[in-house]
Amino acid sequence: MKHYYAAALLALALPGAAHAGDALVSYPAIVQALNTGQSVAVAIDLGQCKSSVAGAEPSKTKGGKRIDAYRITPDG
């Protein structure tokens, strides 16, 4: 479960930006950007997720958020 949160954050932040469109392509890059006070935004496209229900149509939901607060725990 602890890796799930780190993977989710990484997946959400891949299309995100630290500043001026610089993509953050790894978990350490995301953490460094957050720890140095850079502006980080995340975007998500749920249509890229695979449903566990056979034959289900992909979601058309997309969204994003600017990270204004964060907490990283030792267990990820």
HSE, side-chain direction, 13 A CA sphere, residue 2: 5
**Amino acid at residue number 32:** Q
For the entire predicted model, the pTM comes to 0.57
> Which residues does the chain have with pLDDT short of 70?
1-21, 76
Query: For residue 29, what are its two tokens?
Result: 């890059």
Query: For residue 50, what are its two tokens?
Result: 């695979």
The b/e string for 22-48 (b: 16+ C-beta within 10 A; e otherwise) is eebeeeebbbebbeeeeebbbebeeee
pLDDT of residue 22: 79
pLDDT of residue 11: 61
**Amino acid at residue number 27:** Y
